[in-house]
Structure 1
Amino acid sequence: MTQSNRNSGKSWSAQDKKDLKRLAGENTPTRVIGLKLGRTEDAVRSQASKHDVSLKPTNQSPYNRRKK
């Protein structure tokens, strides 16, 4: 993991928490959420568990087999 994120050690703003919920809802990988918010993966996981945000991907049809 990288140690030089721009928000390391700073508290999470209301906007950061809102962005976390939105990105998690869009099935964004944890690492990408961290990069977009300038946080480590551990920080993202910690905040997600604190605010009951699921980082697990929603059920998706494998191999893009969607019913038409």
Structure 2
Amino acid sequence: MTDIAGQFGVRSQLVAKACDGAEIARPRAGHWQKIEHGKSVSQSALNNDRFAAGDVVVIDASGWSILRT
């Protein structure tokens, strides 16, 4: 989240909020640290019943929205 937010000049909390609002799966806290230390992590199946392949989630300083194709 931090890397993506930094690339686009927004706060990581906004990226997380957009993911949650658009029902986009994201790793739980500590996920990447566990992987770095060789521990196993659980994975969930992803669901794409809500969006078309070309839909885009747009995130900017004012919030987020979904552009439908």
TM-score w.r.t. length of structure 1: 0.38
Structure richer in strand, relative to its length: 2
Structure richer in helix, relative to its length: 1
TM-score w.r.t. length of structure 2: 0.38
